[in-house]
Amino acid sequence: MALLEIYLKTIGGLLRANRKLKDKTLFDIAEKSGVNIRILRAIEESGVDIKLSTFYKISMAIGIDPTIEVSRLIIETSLLIKSEN
C-alpha cells in the first residue's frame, strides 16, 4: 500500500471514530461543515483525497481539534508502516 493511501485511509478512520464517539451522524456533520454527505461518506469509507480546508471544516463540525488529529495521524500511520515491514 502506498504511503499516501495509508494516510488517507487513516484520516477517514480517525474522522469516523471521532464522529461516532461524539454521537453525530454524517447528516449532522454535512449540515454543520457544508461538506456534501457523499463526500463525507467517501472520506470515511475509502480514504479519498481531501483538502486541508475540508479536513479542518469536518474536524470543527465534529468538535475535535484538527492539530491533535494530525498528530494522531502521524503516530497511527507510523505504526501501520512499521507493522507492514
| CATH at residue 19 | 1.10.260.40
Instruction: Taking residues 61-83, report their average pLDDT.
Output: 82
Domain range enclosing 36: 3-84
Please tell me the total count of domains within the chain.
Answer: 1
Query: What is the tens place of the pLDDT at every residue in 12-59?
Result: 998 999 999 999 999 999 999 999 999 999 999 987 898 989 999 999
Helix 52-62 / helix 37-46 crossing angle, nearest 10 deg: 100
Task: Kindly report the pTM of this predicted structure.
Answer: 0.83
